[in-house]
Structure 1
C-alpha cells in the first residue's frame, strides 16, 4: 500500500479535526501523522529549516505518495499554524503526490475555502493531483467521553474520498 501522511493543521488536541484524523487512521493502514501544533513553535515561526524535528517531518512528506491535509476553517481560510508548516515544505515538495484536503468549518458558508484558499498554495508546492476535498460542518463531529463521533453522512463522504485514494494508480503497484 502507498505511503500515506496526514498533516493535521489544527492548533489543539480538543479540535474536531482530531476526530477526523482518528477516523482516517482507523481506515488507512500505516498512515503516519504530522500534528503541526506539536512541532517546535520557535522553528515554525522563524522558518528554521535546519531544525531536526522539521527535517524529520519533511522526510515523511518526501517519502509519502499520498498526503491528507486536515485543517479547521478560521476566518474563511485554513489555520495560520498550517501555513507556517506549509512554508517549511521545500519548493515542489508535493510534486508527484496525491493530495486529499479535508476542512472542518462552522457553517456551509465557507464551502469553497478548499478551492480558493488551500488548493492554490498546494499547487505552488508542486501538487498536481489534488482530489476533490471534503468539507465538513463542525456540528457533524461530536465530542464524546470516549473521543469523537462523526455523523453518518459525513462519514460516508470521508469514506468515499478514501476509497478514491485506493483507486489511484499508486495503490495498484
Structure 2
C-alpha cells in the first residue's frame, strides 16, 4: 500500500498527541500501510532552531517527508494554534514539501474551544506547502486519551469512533493515490 509519515509536534515525552498518533499508526499498519514515526522533539534543538539544513538529523527528517505518500501531522494546541516545535520543523521543509501528498491533520487540547485550530491555523500552512489532498482532520480532548496498563494507547469511545472514520478516509485517499501512481508509473 502506501508509505505514511506520522509526525508528532508535541514537545512532551509523555505526550497525549503521540499516544493518539500511535493508536492511529496501529490502524494504518493493520490496513497494510508502512508507517514511519517522526517525533519532532527528538530532533537536535540546536539544528532545528538554528535552521541547520546540513545537520544529518534535519536532512533525514526532510527525506522522510520526501519518501512519504501520506503524512499524518499531530499537534497539541497551544494558544489556539499548533505547537511552535511543529512550526520550527515546517519552516525548515522545502516550500512544496507536501506536493502530491495526502495529509491528515490531528490536534489535541484541553478544551473544545481549540477545535478550530486545525482549520484556521494548521490547514492553511499544509495547503501552502502543496498538499494535494488534506482530508478532514480531527480534534481530540486530552482527557479522552489515556495509556493502558501495558503502555498501549487507549481512547475514550467518543473519540475512538470519529478517529477511526477520519483514519479510514485518509487510508482510502492513500489507496487512490497509490493506485494512481501505479497507473502513471
TM-score, normalisation: structure 1: 0.95
Post-superposition offset of 1:171: 4.1
* Residue equivalent to 1:108: 112
* Counterpart contact for 1:19–1:150, Cα < 8 Å: no
Post-superposition offset of 1:146: 2.7
* Residue equivalent to 2:4: 4
Post-superposition offset of 1:157: 1.2
* Residue equivalent to 1:170: 177
RMSD, aligned α-carbons: 1.3
Q: What residue ranges of structure 1 are gaps of 5+ in the alignment?
A: none
Between the aligned partners of 2:145 and 2:114, the Cα distance in structure 1 is 17
* Counterpart contact for 1:6–1:67, Cα < 8 Å: yes
Q: What residue ranges of structure 2 are gaps of 5+ in the alignment?
A: none
Pairs within 5 Å for 1:14-163 = 14-29=14-29, 30-147=34-151, 148-163=153-168
Runs of 4+ in 1 over 3 A off after TM superposition: none
Between the aligned partners of 2:114 and 2:78, the Cα distance in structure 1 is 10
TM-score, normalisation: structure 2: 0.89
Between the aligned partners of 1:33 and 1:94, the Cα distance in structure 2 is 17
Matched position secondary structure for 2:92: coil
* Counterpart contact for 1:98–1:127, Cα < 8 Å: yes
* Counterpart contact for 2:103–2:170, Cα < 8 Å: no
Structure with greater helix share of residues: 2
